[in-house]
Structure 1
Amino acid sequence: MERKEKLFLSENILFEDDFLNGGVLVDFNGKIKNILSRCDIERNDYLQNSSIQIFYFDSKVLMPGIIDTHVHINEPGRTDWEGFETATKAAAAGGITTIIDMPLNSIPPTTTLKNLKTKLDAAKNQIWVDVGFWGGVVPGNENELLNMIKAGVVGFKCFLTPSGVDEFEYVRKEDVEKTIKILENTGSVLAFHAEFEENDICEGDPTKYETFLKTRPEKMEEDAIKFIIDLSRRYNTKLHIVHLSTATCLETIQKAKLKGNLTVETCHHYLTFNSENIPDKATEYKCCPPIRTKENKEKLWIIGLGDDIIDMVVSDHSPSTPDLKKGGNFLTAWGGISSLQFGLSLFWTELNKRNKKIFEITKYMSQNTSKLVGLHNKKGKIKVGFDADFVIWDPNDFITIVEEQIFHKNKITPYLGMKLKGKVFATVVRGEIVYKDGIFCDTKIGKLLINEKIFGEI
């Protein structure tokens, strides 16, 4: 079969702060070869060139694919919670072209080079989109970190409070100091679940969300973030705060970021929901840190995103089997929210309510996420030489989230039944259409983003 270059045409190709009516020419290797205006295309007869395969998307928006840097795939070990095939299929349906897998809740966790190899073996031939990997920091694994960097992990994740699974122990302050010294000047990043454990006993009705909320007060985040900020001032290591939920730390974080080695993310659930509206027994809303008040949510939008204190918005897709979510007890239910497939529509819906521009999507969900994990020289922008990773979508169309359309392995999600603005039409990974109008391609073409010299051809 003759190999052809590909030309993706749209009246609305989205760049950082502007649109282009034209096309993106993609070479045989799935890289962007040229960006063409409509005049360029007509002047050079591209549409008459039989060696170029043409794809028309009319007025639909063509923009860089979403890069979600906070996804719990859980395979191997807890594949009944989620797996590479189902997670990456959901990603493709949601316009996500790259996901970065968190080091827990798989068994084994990604805390050694050997365990990383186990995870890669589980993932091969299963993935619809490109997948990178976080390594994990747990007490005693400091001698594994440099080898894992060489193997291609994008950075490391640690917990300052119990993680919820026995295989991934949380670190103490002395463990963190050891780790940061090892990572200093390597270019790698250390990401923190930023909560310190509180020992207060909380009484109340466990079926009410407010009872759970009292068990994770803002002080848990505030104390942990103060600790992280102190580290950022003393070490030349990139530090990252995952899933920021409280707005009380924004001013402190803003001052700390002036040094330049601290980044922060928040999640769709903190920007969409508020604690006052969570029904009794609705444990599908449970996550850690928790969803907080409406006032807090608005501050995340107005100050956190409005003042560029928060760098990126991710899913923290953390599913489980239904039995761990059911029963209506907020104190015992699994703390994680499934949302991977719907991030683009969730964020666009909320942006619309606030009269914010569409360019915010690529800033917070493609450009800044790619930079966090070191992919900013090949992904996250429509630029010559970059991977041809695109999402094509209609910002004026709507979707309603129903179980039949969810490709996550488990369908429990607080977004069920919601009507959202923005519908994904097609997803392109390195020049290949992996999803289009409800249909997936025949072959899973996702790539494992690791150092092949260490592991060979995976």
Structure 2
Amino acid sequence: MDLVLRARRAITADGETACAVGVRDGRIVVVEPYDTALVGDQLVELGADEVLLPGLVDSHVHVNDPGRSEWEGFETATRAAAAGGVTTIVDMPLNSLPPTVDVAALEVKRKTALGRVHVDVGFWGGAIPGNAAQLRPLHDAGVFGFKSFLLHSGVDEFPPLDTEGLEEAMRVLREFDGLLIVHAEDAETIDRAPNPHGPHYSGFLASRPPEAEHAAIARVLELARRTGARVHILHLASARALPLIAEAKRDGVAVTAETCPHYLSFTAEEIGDGATQFKCCPPIREAANRELLWRGLAEGVLDCVVSDHSPCTPELKRFDSGDFGEAWGGIAGLQVGLPAVWTGARQRGFGLADVVRWMAHGPAAQAGLPRKGHLAAGYDADFCVFAPDEAFVVDAAKLRHRNAVSAYHDRPLAGVVRSTWLRGAQVTGRSPHGRLLTRGER
């Protein structure tokens, strides 16, 4: 073996167990009982307070590079991912310039990322008005699926699809079993809601009512039933839509859904005046809603938890005015997703195997990453060494994100990532050895 790791606690397909993991050429070749005599060039013995997890997969990351790299960037985003135990990210097609809506733009993004990534990186394409003919070429070029909006995306160069355009995209994708991932908020519902303005979070919350998510998800599911397309609901914030998704799954609709650590961690009641670091779309909702999202995970209605890391420069958060209507909407949380989810999970009686299912198995399956997200023979040797009982307080200035803005600042969390390994090599943040991934590769 090139590497052997021994752990008294590890999360495998059999749950938590003691094991020895053998690695050769960047792949896991054996997972054996702890006392098995495995010989390797490098031997790593985990501490008694550490748990070996498969490297996490975050399929919802806005790197914003090229074009808005002052917001984030491939080097900083992937360093932050590794510091948080994430070994694979899939980059969203918008907020970069150009947006990834054709093969030429994908090539620009790949060239920008090449040689600069500390974890493995895949790419989503975009479905926007007028680019239906670009979907198959992008699919063939290796994107993992296609993101669409049903309302203004926040950037003019990535416009939303109307109902006709959404159905057209689904019919095109159905021809080659492509995946459509949807920011599901209904534009008409939001247009009828009060305009957000001022420093009070309640005003912003009223501007993005749960009915907007419910209406949009109902439309997506209706079209998925009609077309037979595969669809994924992004960043579900409103638990009111969970019964719709559960019913569609029971009926055989090919739908999955995700939520995010910030929806599982924060509540509307605790967000103070002018605290625009908490602004995101859809918004963080009330405490009772949060508990229903946790139930959605427990019942399998929600398939995964991913960051929706959407950072910006400090001035775009408008801390000068504290105006929720003017501030950029997005949470920077890529590095702290694992401890944030683990902190909430263990308070509610869940175990680390549940967290791994939501943050490694689920995202890998949803994005179509057949070698990622499991601690088992044949998978990439991606590991997170996690100390679940060590506590810390988040300091935004010490995170690896490009800008020191985070809703998690000053929040006490449980669980520290001690080290991260990518294909059998420890990620140090000094020498990038991540790869650019293509859909379907094995």
Matched, 1:341 2:338: no
TM-score, structure 1 normalization: 0.92
| Residue 256 (structure 2) aligns with | 263
| Residue 40 (structure 1) aligns with | 36
| Residue 274 (structure 1) aligns with | 267
Equivalent residue letter for 1:214 = A
Q: CA deviation at 1:272?
A: 0.7
Distance in 1 of aligned mates of 2:143 and 2:216? 25
Equivalent residue letter for 2:366 = L
Aligned match of 1:434 in 427, 430, 441? 427
Distance in 1 of aligned mates of 2:58 and 2:371? 15
| Residue 47 (structure 2) aligns with | 58
Q: CA deviation at 1:451?
A: 6.8
Q: CA deviation at 1:452?
A: 11
Matched, 1:445 2:439: no
Verify the 8 A CA contact 1:155 1:191 in the aligned structure 2.
Answer: yes
Could you tell me the percent identity over the aligned residues?
Answer: 40
Equivalent residue letter for 2:58 = D
Equivalent residue letter for 1:358 = L
Q: CA deviation at 1:392?
A: 0.5
Matched, 1:13 2:10: yes
Distance in 1 of aligned mates of 2:218 and 2:126? 22
Distance in 1 of aligned mates of 2:16 and 2:197? 52
Matched, 1:247 2:262: no
Q: CA deviation at 1:290?
A: 0.6
Distance in 2 of aligned mates of 1:20 and 1:52? 24
RMSD value over aligned CA atoms? 1.5
User: Deviations 1:198-250 (Å, cap 9, x if unpaired)?
Assistant: 22262686110001111111111111011011012112211000001101111
Give the SS at the match of 1:192. Answer: strand
| Residue 109 (structure 1) aligns with | 99
Equivalent residue letter for 2:424 = G
Kindly tell me the number of residue pairs found equivalent between the two proteins. 435
User: Deviations 1:344-372 (Å, cap 9, x if unpaired)?
Assistant: 10000001111211111111111111011
Verify the 8 A CA contact 1:391 1:428 in the aligned structure 2.
Answer: yes
| Residue 20 (structure 2) aligns with | 23
Give the SS at the match of 1:40. Answer: coil
Equivalent residue letter for 1:275 = A
User: Deviations 1:146-173 (Å, cap 9, x if unpaired)?
Assistant: 1111111010000000000011011111
| Residue 456 (structure 1) aligns with | none
Structure 1: where are the runs of 5+ without partners? 454-458
Verify the 8 A CA contact 2:139 2:145 in the aligned structure 1.
Answer: yes
| Residue 371 (structure 1) aligns with | 365
Q: Which is worse superposed, 160-169 or 377-386?
A: 377-386
Equivalent residue letter for 1:14 = I
Q: CA deviation at 1:26?
A: 0.4
Distance in 1 of aligned mates of 2:177 and 2:375? 25
Q: List aligned pairs for 1:188-199, cutoff 5 A.
A: 188-197=178-187, 198-199=190-191
Matched, 1:228 2:220: yes
Matched, 1:352 2:346: yes
Structure 1 runs (4+) greater than 3 angstroms displaced: none
Distance in 2 of aligned mates of 1:187 and 1:201? 36
User: Deviations 1:256-314 (Å, cap 9, x if unpaired)?
Assistant: 11214000001111111111110000000000001111111111112x11221111111
| Residue 332 (structure 1) aligns with | 326
Q: CA deviation at 1:404?
A: 3.6
Q: CA deviation at 1:10?
A: 1.1
Structure 1 residues 203 and 183: alpha-carbon distance in aligned structure 2, compared to 1, 3 A threshold: closer
Verify the 8 A CA contact 1:16 1:362 in the aligned structure 2.
Answer: no
Verify the 8 A CA contact 1:135 1:156 in the aligned structure 2.
Answer: yes
Q: List aligned pairs for 1:201-216, cutoff 5 A.
A: 202=194, 206-216=198-208
Structure 1 residues 20 and 165: alpha-carbon distance in aligned structure 2, compared to 1, 3 A threshold: same
Verify the 8 A CA contact 1:17 1:359 in the aligned structure 2.
Answer: no
Equivalent residue letter for 1:257 = K
Verify the 8 A CA contact 1:185 1:236 in the aligned structure 2.
Answer: no
Distance in 1 of aligned mates of 2:348 and 2:71? 35
| Residue 135 (structure 1) aligns with | 125
Equivalent residue letter for 2:123 = F
| Residue 361 (structure 1) aligns with | 355
